[in-house]
Amino acid sequence: MAKNKRERNQNPQPFLADDDSVASTKKHSKAPKHHQKQDKMISSGMSSKILKEALLQQKEIEEEASGGITKSAFGSVEEEPNKHEEEEDIDDFGGFSETQSQFGNYEEEIDEDDEKLLEAFLSKNAGPQRTLADVIIQKIKENDANAASEKQPLPKLDDSLIDLYKGVGKFLNKYTAGKMPKAFKHIPSMQLWEDVLYLTQPENWSPNAMFQATRIFASNLGAKKAERFYRLVLLPRVRDDIRKNKRLHFALYQSLKKALYKPAAFNKGILFPLCKSGTCNLREAVIVGSVIEKVSIPMLHSSVALMKLAEMEYCGTTSYFIKLLLEKKYALPYRVVDAVVAHFMRFLEDTRIMPVIWHQSLLAFVQRYKNELLKEDKNNLRVLLETQKHKLVTPEIMRELDNSRNRGEKEDDPMLLDILFFLSGHFLFHVYECKN
């Protein structure tokens, strides 16, 4: 009987074949399948038999859920032991313990007076942050006048595919541990992956499901698509959780750490939109900043991030991220050093009382890069400190400036050793500046 039961569970035609797994090895990638080359949505290349089998498996999942069994959606099929490493790692996820349910190690760093002072620098006219649902709904309504009156219109996809991924969304809403649905792991390979992802309602996923999704998308999407997932799905969820709970769920915190393994996508999908929103408060900055502080980031990516933050319209908490990046103590190219000097000099005629974190970020800058500053820059900073003063921090900044040499005064200037490295990384700067 056991043998017959096992044979019944072994589906001869699973929803996704093993060799079509979206989790690819790092050494090579396989050629796209025929259905991926077609111009139409991927569902048109699926046989009705496969879709029918997938829906039957979905029904089986829903029936078993009432008995407390957590299984992989469309996953009554046992996995072959010979799977890709990343997919095995995802499927072996055991969930996070209740003692790790919240990331709460930052309370002591948040001062209520500082928080109130920083609120004066937040934008008063910033609109709500756009999510994936906002983007897809707008696109649907622009292309279909009949859908304009619907609250949550559906994209024009195969009805079976819509039912399939709505079922995936219900599964992810209650997901705690175990295998992820095969259908979900296939989303990154789809041409209209955003439309399909919208059907699963990411705003309703459990925190553990968001962590798993971040692992899958960070591994299987290019930097550009990963950036959109971070910006439209992960970031809104993180900010919403912090706003509601005054802290961040541990699984969502781990999602941010996983997202940072694609540093370019993290910068453009998490860090830059957060600062550009004009509404990033101190609590959000401390939590996201702790991820940047703990995870090693390549020098060129940190340099680009620092330069972009320096050039960005100022929001009080921007100084917090600038300080964190400065304290990583990279040997910055002169171009970045000059951009940071220009950032601070923008406040020469600012009549507002600058927050303590602004003064601390300036102190961190001169402590680390005082010997790479031009004599003219130091004189300008001294003038700035006459108008922007802090009784404790400003004297320290002046002392650092007075006890330092100027850029180029010695032949063994350590920054000269980084010129060649900087030139080799010039292309990366160009990519950041020219891409959308």
- The mean pLDDT of 282-310, rounded to a whole number, is 92
pLDDT of 136 reads 80
Tell me how crowded residue 139 is: count the other CB atoms within 10 A of its CB. 15
Among the ranges given (96-100, 108-112, 239-243, 422-426), the one the predictor scored with the smallest mean pLDDT:
422-426
Question: pTM of whole model > 0.95?
Answer: no
Q: Which amino acid is at 21?
A: S
Tell me how far apart the alpha carbons of residues 205 and 237 are, in angstroms, rounded to a whole number.
10
295 has a pLDDT exceeding 70:
yes
Segment 261-279, tens digit of pLDDT: 899 999 999 999 999 988 8
CA distances (Å), origin 60, targets 50, 71, 72, 355, 379:
15, 10, 11, 58, 73
315 has a pLDDT exceeding 90:
no
Q: Which of the four pLDDT bands, split at 50, 70 and 90, describes residue 83?
A: very low
pLDDT of 155 reads 78
Q: Sign of the C-alpha dihedral, residues 404, 409, 412, 415?
A: positive
Q: Which residue has the higher pLDDT, 117 or 389?
A: 389
pLDDT of 10 reads 44
Q: Which of the four pLDDT bands, split at 50, 70 and 90, describes residue 126?
A: low
Q: Which residue has the higher pLDDT, 348 or 420?
A: 348
pLDDT of 52 reads 54
pLDDT of 337 reads 93
Q: What is the mean pLDDT of the chain?
A: 75
pLDDT of 127 reads 63
41 has a pLDDT exceeding 70:
no
Tell me how far apart the alpha carbons of residues 283 and 288 are, in angstroms, rounded to a whole number.
9
For residue 333, which of 407, 416, 427, 409 has the smallest C-alpha distance?
416
pLDDT of 116 reads 66
- The mean pLDDT of 28-33, rounded to a whole number, is 48
200 has a pLDDT exceeding 60:
yes
32 has a pLDDT exceeding 60:
no
Tell me how crowded residue 144 is: count the other CB atoms within 10 A of its CB. 14
pLDDT of 384 reads 94
Phi, then psi, of 294 in degrees rounded to 5: -85, -30
43 has a pLDDT exceeding 90:
no
Q: For the chain, what are the domain ranges?
A: 314-436
Q: Which of the four pLDDT bands, split at 50, 70 and 90, describes residue 89?
A: low
pLDDT of 418 reads 56
Q: Which of the four pLDDT bands, split at 50, 70 and 90, describes residue 19?
A: very low
CA distances (Å), origin 191, targets 136, 183, 188, 277:
14, 14, 8, 29
pLDDT of 49 reads 46
Among the ranges given (36-45, 235-244, 359-368), the one the predictor scored with the smallest mean pLDDT:
36-45
Q: Which residue has the higher pLDDT, 10 or 139?
A: 139
Phi, then psi, of 3 in degrees rounded to 5: -65, -40
For residue 269, which of 229, 327, 211, 324 has the smallest C-alpha distance?
229
The string of DSSP codes covering 311-379 is HSPP-TTHHHHHHHHHTT-----HHHHHHHHHHHHTTTT--S---HHHHHHHHHHHHHHGGGS-HHHHH
88 has a pLDDT exceeding 70:
no
- The mean pLDDT of 110-134, rounded to a whole number, is 69
